[in-house]
Structure 1
Amino acid sequence: MSTERSASRTVDIQHLIDDSPISRFQFLIIVLCFIIVAVDGFDTAAAAFIAPAIRAEWQLTPATLGPMFGAGLFGLMLGALVIGPFADRLGRKPLLVFSVFFFGLASLGAAFSHSITELTWWRFVTGLGLGAAMPSAITLTSEYCPQRKRSFLVTVMFCGFTLGSAMGGLLAAQLVAEHGWRSVLLVGGAVPLLVALALWALLPESIRFLVLKDPRSVKAARYLSRIAPAVDLAGAVFIGPQKAKGLPVTQLFSRALVGGTLLLWLTFFMSLLVYYLLTNWLPTFINSSGASIQQAALVTMLLQLGGTLGGVMLGLFMDRMNPHTLLGGAYVGGGVCVTLIGASAGVPGLLPLAVFGAGFCIAGSQIGINALAAAYYPTASRASGVSWANGIGRSGSVVGSMLGGLLLSFNWGFETIFAIAAAPALVAGLAIFLKGRLQGGRAPEAAPVPQEA
């Protein structure tokens, strides 16, 4: 058709992706990024699931374990803040391959630690790679998704993180009992090395990143032809993202973006504070109440399973209604569930139900705000925006991981501890609701950024 040939000479890449059915090529990208965040989730949660065994072997106090949790999360924060934004300069694929390979090697090193100090340093190094990988996986998935299903597909992809964390619980329950805690870290190191090789062979670069560098990119045309094979793309000039003034990080503070940026940061900080307090310390809390290490790991796994289901359900509805109102309400519900965890003593069945509910609402909303952040920022600064939101959030995870040991040292009852732990979830809900009010219903990616002349 002559009309199709004429249209193909100048191609708006987002319109082409939006107007095409989701292809096998796009599903491949989603699956690969799902695997990335799954191994990320496994390695991130590994310390929590092996903590009771480490504590018993090295005769440690709960407060002594705090720095190990904090070091890994501090590494995650620095990895997201410092390494993650390089995806806006070097590309999504190179950073993902490097990051996954790097944290795989570091996890293998951690498996051979001989003291809590040595293990703490290895967890910090592992965190650097983990922190850089996740934002790039979110960014790449977002850039290959049609607008109509972007939130759902990004949240489905990111559910790999909670499933990977849950798998860590299942494997830890078996591996620690049969082979010791080091075996968990060995698995968490070997698998990412294999994944890095698969990424190098199969993962494409972001089309939007390629077009940002060269509007006539032959590689972008090849990738787009796998999404829309019926469209003639020979010699096409692609319309899409535009270059912006300054460094990608500075664009986050432009007049159009700064308000949403700060509220996203507050949401990420509070959300990850309570999430990592629960992830890192629930096994120890439950074990301290008389349950076995295996029972504690299995109950904590419900937090991740709830997050997986919550992420899918919330992502589905985020594409159909105001995502800020939806996520704000979910965070409030999560705060209620965290309070119920502390009140579960003597109430049969309440603990696993409350843990699952907290995962559904809080971990599910955390998945959702990653999709929201990816939609909020333009291509030129998207990796930086998602990386910095995650990096600032990771500072909350550091606080949460340290807070658990501090609260235990006060010898307060579980009811008091979990009532305190619920407060950040309520603040996160308020912050994301205010961001929605600030945007006034405008589509997130409509926010302009200063353009190069």
Structure 2
Amino acid sequence: MSTSVRRGELGNGALVAIVATCGLSYLFDGYDLIVYGATVPSLTKEWGLGPGQAGAIGSYALVGMLVGALVVGSVTDLLGRRRVLIAAVAWFSVGTASCALADGPTLFGVLRFASGLGLGAVLPTLNALLIEYAPERKRNMTYAVMAIGYPLGGILASALAIPLIPAVGWQVMYLIGAAPILLVLPLALRALPESLEFLVARGRLDEAHRLAARLGVELAPAREPKARTGRRGSLAGLVGKGYLMPTLLFWAASFCSLLAIYGMSTWLPQLMREAGYPLQSALSFLLVFNIGAIVGLFFGGRAADRFGAKPAVVLGFALACAAVLLLAGGGAEAVVYVLVAVAGYGTIGTQTLLNAFVTGYYPAESRAAGIAWTLGVGRLGGILGPTIAGALLDAHASLTVLFGLFAAVAGVGGAVVCLVRPQKDDASALAPDLRQADRV
């Protein structure tokens, strides 16, 4: 249900600016997700890494993302969502580009951890900002349009890796990671508004009213005191007033989802090489993996708005489980490509819809903390995904075992989301006249 401090919807210009800024930030988050998987074959060859060591290095960025995600809720409460998003984008852009300077696995791992700190702060912040300003009846679809940037970033990394790595080397892939400084920051500085929820919660009402007037929306003054007294950014706000069980279930679902996403994204090219495909063909599977996420999100976002986010997320997990399980059996190349595309939607696309579900589930004063903690705990799964798969490869496990593991994890994620209770009608809404029509 909606928990907004405003009445009415943004004009198209303001909404486009928010969606574009958040979408471009998300794009380079997705680029960073895939770039390591795309460069793993080159790194293992140049530095003589074993699968276990390569998997551990792949997890270093995720450890940084875990720390960044858990800290960002408190930081946004002090500084605001706009400032934190801008700072986080600048941080991870510099960190990613610096990885090109690494001359060995130790320095490379340290730099990946550092860039992960910024990446971990980006996603919860833009989630909260986008969900706040998204139109009520098209919230999930608006989020899906923005979040298409994530698999687009994966496509960009995959498409560039195919010609650039053989021709120039793996370093150029990380130098490209500095592009947000030129593409995202100028747009964010010029067009991205601060969160009205943040301004009201901090008691900056005059500033909030001025911003609302500029955006063409109206604050709900009768409910402002509640926003100010909420436990902003507090973990206690996520486990009290009936939210304990949904919070734990969201954490478990995100854990499963990110384990599957990062495990598959890191090792898919290598697994396809193990299956007999040459390097360029193996990299093309990463491309298809992300294309599947984009195509699926158009349908998944509409389905979430029409039928509710919960059934859309459960269906996505089920598709991931089925597709990855079937990948274990191999088959004709065309069939494998289709299964990889479905797996891309079932993992990346489902995580996107889960993020929207989680962010919209909590009241406004707990929204940023809710998604930050969900993604933070989920990063533990992301850390384990590459590491477990690398250890299994070290132990010469079969492709059936590896794909079966990811399929089982997706199945557990869907089962967990089934247990999330519907929101209560009185769940701390700040503006009850704007309740979401597509309640789950």
Alignment correspondent of 1:3: none
List per-residue Cα deviations over 1:287-321 (Å, max 9, x = no partner). 23332222211111111111122223212111111
Distance in structure 2 (CA, Å) of the matches to 1:350 and 1:157: 29
Distance in structure 2 (CA, Å) of the matches to 1:370 and 1:120: 28
Q: CA deviation at 1:213?
A: 2.2
Q: Give runs of aligned pairs for residues 255-334 of structure 1, distance below 5 A.
A: 255-334=241-320
Alignment correspondent of 1:382: 367
Distance in structure 2 (CA, Å) of the matches to 1:449 and 1:13: 7
Match of 1:448 among 405, 422, 428: 428
Note if contact 1:324-1:432 (Cα within 8 Å) is conserved in structure 2: yes
Alignment correspondent of 2:33: 44
Alignment correspondent of 1:16: 7
Match of 2:414 among 425, 429, 435: 429
Alignment correspondent of 2:438: none
List per-residue Cα deviations over 1:196-224 (Å, max 9, x = no partner). 24322321101221122236333543344
Note if contact 1:170-1:301 (Cα within 8 Å) is conserved in structure 2: yes
List per-residue Cα deviations over 1:13-44 (Å, max 9, x = no partner). 65623xx4752111110111000111111122
Q: CA deviation at 1:159?
A: 1.7
Q: CA deviation at 1:249?
A: 2.1
- Say if 2:91 is the partner of 1:102: yes
Q: CA deviation at 1:237?
A: 4.5
Q: CA deviation at 1:131?
A: 0.5
Q: CA deviation at 1:172?
A: 1.3
Seen in structure 2, the aligned counterparts of structure 1 residues 246 and 86 have a Cα distance that, compared at 3 Å, is closer
Alignment correspondent of 1:128: 117
Alignment correspondent of 1:74: 63
Match of 2:327 among 329, 332, 341: 341
- Say if 2:229 is the partner of 1:243: yes
**What is the SS of the residue equivalent to 2:306?**
coil
Seen in structure 2, the aligned counterparts of structure 1 residues 24 and 285 have a Cα distance that, compared at 3 Å, is same
Q: CA deviation at 1:349?
A: 1.4
Distance in structure 1 (CA, Å) of the matches to 2:171 and 2:281: 20
RMSD: 2.2
By relative contact order (CA 8 Å, sep 6+), the higher-ranking structure is: 2
Note if contact 2:129-2:195 (Cα within 8 Å) is conserved in structure 1: yes
Q: CA deviation at 1:255?
A: 2.9
Which stretches in structure 2 are left out of the alignment for 5+ residues?
Answer: 431-440
Distance in structure 1 (CA, Å) of the matches to 2:167 and 2:222: 56
The structure number with the bigger radius of gyration is: 1
Note if contact 1:215-1:238 (Cα within 8 Å) is conserved in structure 2: no
Distance in structure 2 (CA, Å) of the matches to 1:238 and 1:255: 22
Q: CA deviation at 1:69?
A: 0.4
Q: CA deviation at 1:106?
A: 0.9
TM-score when normalising by structure 1: 0.89
Match of 2:76 among 82, 87, 91: 87
Alignment correspondent of 2:178: 189
Distance in structure 1 (CA, Å) of the matches to 2:374 and 2:231: 21
Distance in structure 2 (CA, Å) of the matches to 1:192 and 1:416: 41
Which stretches in structure 1 are left out of the alignment for 5+ residues?
Answer: 1-11
Distance in structure 1 (CA, Å) of the matches to 2:292 and 2:412: 21
Alignment correspondent of 1:253: 239
- Say if 2:353 is the partner of 1:373: no
Letter in 2 for 1:50: T
Distance in structure 1 (CA, Å) of the matches to 2:179 and 2:332: 41
Q: CA deviation at 1:248?
A: 2.0
Letter in 2 for 1:398: I
Note if contact 1:334-1:357 (Cα within 8 Å) is conserved in structure 2: yes
Aligned-residue identity in percent: 29
